[in-house]
């Protein structure tokens, strides 16, 4: 146990240089702006005086290392600058919008894992069957689907043609009041408030964007599950288990599936990366008030402080998710903490 | 000749007979063996034709507006209908092929070359080079890649070249890591050591013996990445980065068409979206076909 | 007890149906140990999987009967088979570490079987599992219960596999190459353990192996399989003394055994006298106090701790030891693929240890020292034809090109007995023996004086091993080369070498003339190695 604890601590320590790298890259991105960064941060309508003011405020008149130090200092105080369009601190806006993005992403991931993992297992246990073929078709088609296109197509079918879905504008139809904010997740908040009507309304809004995102993430998870199950099922220890007379169920779930889970968990990191990226597109399509659509609006308005804040926020979120995945991995795999050699 | 050459003739199991003659035979063999690959190649040919000949073949000028014909549903005159400015969606969708392919091919080529060189060197020599490279790659991979591309394009300026650079940068880790791993497992392989014993320098062993053996998985990666690069570029223009209107590009066409979907004018967004899907699907299918082709173990 | 009649097994593959087993019949009586011997691809393992009904996907029993104690194994339902497996018939496998679930505690894996067959319940499972571990002589079973397979040695893993197989007191034990991949002393320990348990519990057993010697030592009766059919059956002494079938005769001949010369490994029809050669008194290679230390995670790892030996011009020296003894590290340093930490490698009077391995490819000495690798498949570039492979050293070191190179390549092919048409094939189109020939041709292409042979026959079937070893003997005499022959197998080394160096734990425990070391070992470890090797019965003079 002690050994595993050390491995976990080592993994946590590994995250530090990565976070430093992320901060450095995001710093460099703000300094890589073509032309005069101060002019960009001051906005299109700025005159020479306000540009100069911005320059001093951002410390752009100092040396690079100094600027970086200043940047880190500001970050440490939770200061990501001010949004040009709204005049609000970027941190506050991101914090307010983050729950919307998280709710969408997590629901989508839960749905896609719930479908993809059983599908991959089924396909692997019956290679060559119709389940297998359906899985392969879905996997290839799934990774070929541009999320924004899927979203648009789903809106056409379920909103325009059939009218089953509510209008694709935001998290809640305007006739409902937002549930009192506890977690920021409408589904949870509405449930806590005991407001079934709002809960269903929020769910109805959520279904299409979540399905869009889930369709996109389905493919890599199903593909990996199938491959991992196939390789696990063909390994020597499965033969040992069969020769010992263990039941098919025990072999499939107790032996093969638990081993197959390891590569699947590893792939989840990559899937998260794709999901967070696709999230931006889906939020734009469904006018979802998350940090993705915030960034898109900021991009259009050349609101760079907001864009950089968003990039940094996403990266830190992703680092945290990867950390969680690796910690989960070390819970399943006893070999963690040993050199593989 | 002498006694010793006769010994071996004693009942040694015969290897499978070698049927293949050359590379072309092998290509034909793989295509015959695998109809899906054949289909992928046919689809690829269609894409290439659209990219090369497209602008010359389309019936309308992709940029010509015609207010009297705005928002026409698909018809014999306008196969994919017309958009809100009366431009022919079919012509725009076909012409867009060239731009979309150019962006993705350029980006993937860049990341292939950079990733291969860095990854091969790190995998073969290891040491500080390896450590430094992994740090850089870890940092790139620490970003959700599409988000990083957004940040890069936003910072470097909203141009098509910058879309290419951004797409290349976010793809480099895939190649570098793949090549690094492939080179690393072969660094101590018997044939690499044997090549050294045969008087080859390290660079030559790496370039002529180890790297070519890493090509099959690379080819698959290239193909899959091409699809992904197209998606990425289209995604960026969908949110208003890189390609600007009125240029015909699939992502931007879907973005413009999306505004009309709620009022039922589906053809604006659906057709360019289908083209995009077709291209990505082709490259994904091609991936597996290419693997069969470059892998000599399948040449039987 | 077990009756197999006309058993035929086929596999569906992409290239149509493949008949892996075609009409095999044998019986196993109560308390009997039957050996099934055959080279790779003979269908011996498939036969056993078929009667356990654990064939891989695509495989099926096509025809024939398999009856165990009145149960028709072919028609029994999957549920019945599951009840039978592990309780009545059990199996142990080769490569024991892979045969265990890597992420489940070994104790739990034993419990799984016990509880499956109702030999234990939740309360006493742990105690019963520890009991089963103690039964296979695992010391400190209580502590090992919580171990994962990766924490255990190969021999210990095989004991766990045995514990799983024997936990429910089966009546029949099938052993599928149980010692392959284990060190020779571990092999012996595992075989002794299993035979003792079989005798104690008066079980029947089937030993599947490629090693005729091993089967002869432990089995009451042997069937020899080739290409999915049985060619001969009989008791081991008779089989060795008077093999009836030509294939059995070839196998018996090719099995290295005490007293047989290298030529006697070949079928009598093609034996030629061993060519004479000259061994000079001068040392061609002198290794002095060679040390290799790696930086490990937990302190330095001393792979080689000061090794000294000589190889005279024309002499063959065997370097023998078990895995991890430092023999491969030593040979890598000698061929200059690895830099020693300290010590000298004097070759023709020059200290090669002073020349860094990184730039040795361009050294004029490079052509003098060459190597034949262990795994012929791994050592050939899969993207190069035999011709390209052999051309490499000619291009880089001899500077030959065009016609001269083509002629030299064909000359070399003739020399190693590789039919010329095979020169244009890729490695995957060649058999194991042919690949070995390509590897040898490449090594001798530039007329080296000194050849390091790193277990060149370890991956080959015995009949091919016999041919390759004899080829090496011929080439040595013809080209006047010296060999450093690295091997784990003293019996193979004896055939080829004049002098033997025995290594253990990075040190030389004994060295001397081969006959002396083999007949009167001075070190107990050498004696242990000799003792552990299977001893096939004698062969009647053919």
- List per-residue pLDDT tens for chain B, 300 residues long: 343 333 333 334 444 444 444 566 666 766 666 677 788 888 889 988 888 888 888 777 777 777 777 777 888 777 787 877 778 888 888 888 899 899 999 999 999 999 999 999 999 988 888 888 988 888 888 888 888 998 888 888 888 899 999 999 999 998 998 999 889 888 888 899 999 888 888 899 999 899 988 887 788 788 878 888 888 888 888 888 878 878 888 888 888 888 888 787 888 888 888 999 899 888 888 876 676 666 544 443
CATH number of the domain enclosing B123: 1.10.3720.10
Contacts of C51 in chain A (CB under 8 A): none
The two three-digit tokens of residue C394, written as one number: 């000619």
The two three-digit tokens of residue A99, written as one number: 């729950």
CA distances from C354 to A312, B89, C4, C347, C467 (A): 53, 73, 64, 11, 38
CATH number of the domain enclosing C393: 3.40.50.300
CA distances from B32 to B26, B289, B293, C371 (A): 10, 11, 12, 42
pLDDT of residue C429: 86
Yes or no, beta carbons of B276 and A149 under 8 Å apart? yes
Q: Is residue C512 part of a domain?
A: yes
Contacts of B188 in chain C (CB under 8 A): none
CB contact at 8 A, B90 and B78: yes
Q: Is residue C301 part of a domain?
A: yes
Contacts of A34 in chain B (CB under 8 A): 156-157
Checking if the pLDDT of A188 tops 90, the result is: no
Residues 197-256 in B contacting A (C-alpha not used; CB under 8 Å): 224, 227, 231, 234-235, 238-241, 251, 254-255
Checking if the pLDDT of A30 tops 80, the result is: no
Q: C: neighbours with 3+ CB pairs under 8 Å?
A: A, B
Report helix angle B145-156 to A2-31, nearest 10.
Answer: 20
Q: Which fold has domain A90-340?
A: MetI-like fold (1.10.3720)
* Nearest one of A285, A331, A309, A330 to A27, comparing CA atoms: A309
Domain of C493 in residue numbering reads as: 283-532
Beta strands in C191-323 (DSSP E): 204-209, 221-226, 229-234, 283-296, 299-312, 316-320
CB contact at 8 A, A209 and A263: no
The two three-digit tokens of residue A3, written as one number: 């050994």
pLDDT digits (tens, 9 = 90+) for C183-209: 888 888 999 999 999 999 999 999 999
d(Cα A145, Cα B276) in Å, to the nearest integer?
A: 8
- Paired residues of C207 in beta bridges: C35, C175
Domain of B217 in residue numbering reads as: 40-49+89-298
Averaged pLDDT for residues A242-270: 89
Yes or no, beta carbons of A236 and C93 under 8 Å apart? yes
d(Cα A178, Cα A198) in Å, to the nearest integer?
A: 8
Q: Residue B57 in 3-state DSSP?
A: helix
The torsion angles phi and psi of C483, rounded to 5 degrees, stand at: -120, 145
Contacts of C104 in chain A (CB under 8 A): 254-255, 258
d(Cα C44, Cα C227) in Å, to the nearest integer?
A: 9
d(Cα A340, Cα C72) in Å, to the nearest integer?
A: 45
pLDDT digits (tens, 9 = 90+) for C81-128: 999 999 999 999 888 888 999 989 999 999 999 999 988 888 899 999
CB contact at 8 A, C42 and C225: yes
In Å, the largest CA–CA distance within chain B is 94
Contacts of C99 in chain A (CB under 8 A): 236-237, 239-240
CA distances from B74 to A116, B86, B250, B279, C191 (A): 37, 12, 18, 22, 79
- Paired residues of C351 in beta bridges: C346
Q: Could you tell me which chain A residue has the CA closest to the CA of B156?
A: A33
H-assigned helices in C183-335? 184-200, 212-218, 236-241, 246-254, 327-334
Question: B59 or C289: which carries more pLDDT confidence?
Answer: C289
Closest chain C C-alpha to A268 CA, distance in angstroms: 20
CA distances from A187 to A193, A199, A278, C357 (A): 10, 6, 22, 66
* Nearest one of B257, B299, A45 to C428, comparing CA atoms: B299
The torsion angles phi and psi of C29, rounded to 5 degrees, stand at: -85, 165
A281 lies within 8 A of chain B by CB: yes
H-assigned helices in chain A? 2-31, 37-42, 48-58, 64-76, 90-125, 130-144, 147-155, 186-193, 196-233, 236-243, 248-249, 258-285, 291-300, 304-332
* Nearest one of C461, C456, C443 to C486, comparing CA atoms: C456
A215 lies within 8 A of chain B by CB: no
Q: Residue C507 in 3-state DSSP?
A: strand
The torsion angles phi and psi of C301, rounded to 5 degrees, stand at: -105, 120
C204-209 vs C172-176, strand pairing mode: parallel
Yes or no, beta carbons of B213 and C382 under 8 Å apart? yes
Q: Residue A175 in 3-state DSSP?
A: coil
Q: Does pTM top 0.90 for this prediction?
A: no
CA B76 to chain centre: 34
A34 lies within 8 A of chain B by CB: yes
Yes or no, beta carbons of C267 and B10 under 8 Å apart? yes
Instruction: Report the domain count for chain C.
Output: 1
pLDDT digits (tens, 9 = 90+) for C209-261: 988 888 988 999 999 999 999 999 999 988 888 888 999 988 888 888 877 88
Contacts of B245 in chain A (CB under 8 A): none
The two three-digit tokens of residue A4, written as one number: 């595993």
Averaged pLDDT for residues C510-533: 91
CB contact at 8 A, A276 and A282: no
pLDDT of residue B6: 37
pLDDT digits (tens, 9 = 90+) for A276-327: 888 999 998 888 999 998 888 888 877 778 888 898 998 998 998 888 888 8
Closest chain A C-alpha to B213 CA, distance in angstroms: 23
Query: Mutating which of C46, C52, C82 best tests the A interface, going by the most A Cβ atoms within 10 A?
Result: C82
Closest chain A C-alpha to C168 CA, distance in angstroms: 9
Interface size between B and C, measured as CB pairs under 8 A: 128
pLDDT of residue B5: 36
pLDDT of residue B7: 38
A243 lies within 8 A of chain C by CB: yes
Q: Which of A98-112, A182-196, B1-15, C58-72 has the lowest mean pLDDT?
A: B1-15
Yes or no, beta carbons of B197 and C380 under 8 Å apart? no
pLDDT of residue A341: 32
Interface size between A and B, measured as CB pairs under 8 A: 160
Query: Within a 10 A sphere around the Cβ of A98, how many other Cβ atoms?
Result: 16
Closest chain C C-alpha to B12 CA, distance in angstroms: 7
pLDDT of residue B1: 36
Q: What percent of chain C has pLDDT over 70?
A: 99
d(Cα A248, Cα C79) in Å, to the nearest integer?
A: 9
Q: What is the DSSP string of A297-314?
A: HHHHTT-HHHHHHHHHHH
CB contact at 8 A, A325 and A268: yes
Checking if the pLDDT of A239 tops 70, the result is: yes
CA distances from C443 to B197, C348, C362, C399, C416 (A): 8, 19, 16, 16, 11
Interface of B with C (CB under 8 A): 1, 3-16, 18, 189-191, 193-202, 209, 212-213, 296-297, 299-300
Contacts of A338 in chain C (CB under 8 A): 150
Query: Within a 10 A sphere around the Cβ of C199, how many other Cβ atoms?
Result: 12
Averaged pLDDT for residues C323-348: 91
d(Cα B143, Cα B128) in Å, to the nearest integer?
A: 24
pLDDT of residue C509: 94
Residue intervals of chain A classified under CATH 1.10.3720.10 are 90-340
pLDDT of residue B20: 44
Checking if the pLDDT of A32 tops 80, the result is: no
CA distances from A330 to A11, A218, A269, A324, A336 (A): 10, 24, 14, 10, 6
d(Cα C158, Cα C178) in Å, to the nearest integer?
A: 8
Yes or no, beta carbons of A245 and C116 under 8 Å apart? yes
A208 lies within 8 A of chain B by CB: no
pLDDT of residue B14: 45
Q: Could you tell me which chain A residue has the CA closest to the CA of B166?
A: A29
Checking if the pLDDT of C507 tops 60, the result is: yes
Token pair 């033997």: residue: C500
Closest chain B C-alpha to A241 CA, distance in angstroms: 31
pLDDT of residue C222: 93
The two three-digit tokens of residue A267, written as one number: 């792939």
CB contact at 8 A, C496 and C473: yes
CA distances from B285 to A142, B37, B99, B112, C433 (A): 12, 7, 21, 19, 38
Averaged pLDDT for residues C444-456: 92
Q: Is residue B72 part of a domain?
A: no
H-assigned helices in C219-347? 236-241, 246-254, 327-334
B10, B15, B296 member nearest C382 (Cβ): B296
Closest chain B C-alpha to A141 CA, distance in angstroms: 7
Contacts of A24 in chain B (CB under 8 A): 139
Could you tell me which residues come within 8 angstroms of residue A45 by beta carbon, excluding any fewer than 6 positions away?
Answer: none
B86: left (phi over 0), alpha (psi -120 to 50) or beta: left
Contacts of A304 in chain B (CB under 8 A): 154-155
A262 lies within 8 A of chain C by CB: yes
Could you tell me which residues come within 8 angstroms of residue C64 by beta carbon, excluding any fewer than 6 positions away?
Answer: C4, C5, C6, C7, C8, C23, C24, C25, C74
C362 lies within 8 A of chain B by CB: yes
Q: In what order do the strands lie in the sheet with C2-13?
A: C16-28, C2-13, C59-68, C71-72
Instruction: Report the domain count for chain B.
Output: 1
């Amino acid at each position: 146990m002690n050994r595993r604890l050390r491995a976990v601590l080592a993994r946590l320590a590994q995250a530090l240089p990565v976070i430093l790298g992320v901060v450095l890259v995001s710093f460099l991105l703000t300094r890589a702006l073509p032309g005069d960064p101060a002019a960009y941060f001051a906005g299109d309508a700025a005159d020479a005086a306000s540009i100069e003011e911005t320059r001093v405020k951002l410390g752009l008149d100092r040396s690079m290392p100094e600027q970086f130090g200043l940047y880190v200092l500001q970050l440490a105080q939770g200061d990501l600058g001010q949004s040009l369009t709204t005049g609000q601190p970027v941190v506050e806006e991101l914090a307010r919008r983050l729950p919307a993005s998280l709710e969408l992403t997590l629901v989508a991931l839960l749905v896609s894992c719930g479908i993809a993992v059983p599908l991959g297992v089924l396909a692997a246990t019956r290679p060559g069957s119709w389940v297998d073929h359906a899985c392969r078709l879905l996997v290839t088609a799934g990774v070929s689907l541009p999320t924004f296109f899927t979203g648009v197509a789903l809106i056409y079918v379920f909103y325009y043609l059939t009218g089953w879905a509510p209008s694709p504008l935001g998290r809640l139809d305007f006739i409902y009041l937002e549930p009192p904010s506890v977690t920021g997740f409408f589904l949870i908040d509405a449930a806590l408030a005991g407001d079934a009507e709002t809960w269903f309304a929020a769910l109805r809004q959520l279904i299409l964007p979540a399905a869009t995102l889930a369709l996109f993430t389905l493919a890599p998870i199903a593909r990996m599950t199938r491959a991992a199950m196939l390789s696990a099922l063909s390994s020597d220890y499965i033969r040992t288990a069969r020769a010992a007379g263990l039941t098919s169920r025990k072999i499939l779930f107790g032996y093969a599936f638990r081993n197959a889970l390891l590569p699947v968990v590893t792939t989840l990191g990559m899937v998260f990366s794709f999901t967070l990226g696709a999230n931006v597109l889906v939020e734009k399509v469904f006018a979802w008030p998350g940090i993705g659509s915030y960034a898109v609006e900021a991009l259009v308005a050349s609101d760079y402080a907001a864009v950089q804040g968003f990039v940094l926020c996403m990266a830190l979120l992703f680092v945290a998710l990867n950390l969680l995945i690796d910690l989960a991995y070390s819970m399943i795999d006893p070999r963690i903490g040993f050199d593989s050699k | 000749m002498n006694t010793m050459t006769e010994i071996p003739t004693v009942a040694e199991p015969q290897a499978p007979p070698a049927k293949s003659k050359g590379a072309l035979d092998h290509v034909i063999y793989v295509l015959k063996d695998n109809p899906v690959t054949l289909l992928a190649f046919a689809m690829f040919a269609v894409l290439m034709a659209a990219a090369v000949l497209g602008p010359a073949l389309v019936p309308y000028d992709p940029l010509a507006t015609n207010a009297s014909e705005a928002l026409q549903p698909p018809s014999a005159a306008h196969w994919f209908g017309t958009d809100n400015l009366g431009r022919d969606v079919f012509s725009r969708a076909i012409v867009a092929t060239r731009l979309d392919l150019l962006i993705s091919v350029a980006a993937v080529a860049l990341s292939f070359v950079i990733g291969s060189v860095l990854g091969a060197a790190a995998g073969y020599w290891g040491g500080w080079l390896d450590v430094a490279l992994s740090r850089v790659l870890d940092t790139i991979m620490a970003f959700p890649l599409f988000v990083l591309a957004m940040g890069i394009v936003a910072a470097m300026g909203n141009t098509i070249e910058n879309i290419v650079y951004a797409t290349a940068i976010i793809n480099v880790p895939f190649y570098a890591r793949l090549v690094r791993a492939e080179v690393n497992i072969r660094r101590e392989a018997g044939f690499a050591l044997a090549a050294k014993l045969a008087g080859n320098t390290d660079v030559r062993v790496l370039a002529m013996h180890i790297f070519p053996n890493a090509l099959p998985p690379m080819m698959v990666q290239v193909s899959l990445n091409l699809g992904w690069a197209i998606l990425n570029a289209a995604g960026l223009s969908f949110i208003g980065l890189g390609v600007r209107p009125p240029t015909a590009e699939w992502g931007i066409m879907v973005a413009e068409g999306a505004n009309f979907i709620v009022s039922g004018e589906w053809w604006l967004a659906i057709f360019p979206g289908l083209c995009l899907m077709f291209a990505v699907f082709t490259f994904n299918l091609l991936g597996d076909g290419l693997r069969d082709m470059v892998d000599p173990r399948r040449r039987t | 007890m077990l009756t197999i009649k006309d058993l035929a097994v086929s596999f569906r593959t992409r290239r149509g149906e493949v008949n892996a087993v075609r009409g095999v019949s044998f019986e196993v009586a109560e308390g009997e140990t039957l050996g099934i011997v055959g080279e790779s691809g003979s269908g011996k393992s498939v036969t056993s999987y078929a009667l356990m009904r654990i064939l891989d996907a695509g495989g099926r029993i096509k025809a024939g009967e398999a009856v165990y104690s009145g149960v028709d194994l072919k028609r029994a339902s999957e549920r019945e088979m599951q009840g039978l497996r592990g309780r009545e018939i059990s199996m142990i496998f080769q490569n024991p570490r892979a045969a265990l679930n890597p992420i489940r505690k070994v104790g739990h894996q034993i419990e799984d079987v016990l509880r499956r067959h109702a030999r234990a319940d939740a309360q006493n499972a742990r105690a019963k599992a520890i009991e089963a571990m103690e039964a296979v002589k695992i010391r400190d079973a209580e502590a090992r219960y919580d171990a994962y397979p990766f924490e255990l040695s190969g021999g210990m893993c095989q004991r766990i596999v045995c514990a799983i197989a024997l936990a429910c007191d089966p009546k029949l034990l099938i052993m599928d190459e149980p010692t392959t991949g284990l060190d020779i002393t571990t092999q012996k320990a595992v075989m002794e353990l299993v035979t003792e348990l079989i005798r104690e519990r008066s079980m029947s057993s089937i030993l599947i192996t490629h090693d005729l010697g091993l089967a002869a030592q432990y089995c009451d009766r042997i069937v020899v399989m080739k290409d999915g059919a049985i060619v001969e059956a009989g008791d081991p002494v008779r089989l060795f003394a008077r093999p009836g079938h030509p294939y059995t005769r070839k196998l018996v001949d090719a099995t290295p055994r005490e007293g047989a010369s290298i030529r006697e490994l070949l079928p009598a029809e093609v034996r030629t006298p061993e060519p004479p050669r000259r061994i000079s008194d001068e040392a061609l290679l002198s290794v002095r106090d060679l040390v290799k230390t790696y930086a490990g995670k937990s302190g330095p790892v001393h792979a080689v701790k000061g090794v000294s030996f000589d190889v005279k011009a024309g002499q063959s020296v065997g370097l023998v030891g078990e895995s991890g003894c430092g023999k491969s590290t030593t040979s890598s340093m000698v061929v200059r693929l690895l830099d020693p930490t300290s010590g000298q490698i004097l070759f023709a009077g020059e200290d090669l240890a002073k020349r860094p391995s990184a730039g040795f490819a361009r050294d004029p000495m490079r052509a003098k020292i060459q190597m034949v690798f262990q795994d012929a498949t791994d050592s050939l570039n899969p993207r190069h034809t035999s011709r390209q492979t052999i051309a490499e050293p000619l291009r880089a070191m001899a500077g030959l090109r065009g016609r001269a190179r083509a002629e030299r390549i064909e000359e070399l092919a003739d020399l190693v007995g590789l039919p010329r048409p095979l020169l244009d094939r890729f490695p995957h189109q060649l058999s194991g023996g042919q690949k070995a020939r390509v590897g040898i041709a490449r090594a001798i292409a530039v007329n080296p004086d000194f050849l390091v042979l790193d277990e060149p026959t370890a991956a080959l079937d015995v009949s091919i091993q016999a041919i390759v070893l004899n080829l090496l003997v011929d080439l040595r005499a013809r080209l006047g080369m010296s060999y450093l022959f690295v091997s784990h197998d003293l019996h193979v080394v004896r055939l080829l070498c004049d002098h033997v160096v025995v290594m253990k734990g990075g040190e030389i425990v004994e060295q001397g003339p081969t006959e002396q070391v083999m007949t009167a070992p001075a070190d107990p470890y050498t004696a242990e190695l000799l003792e552990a090797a299977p001893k096939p019965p004698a062969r009647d003079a053919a």
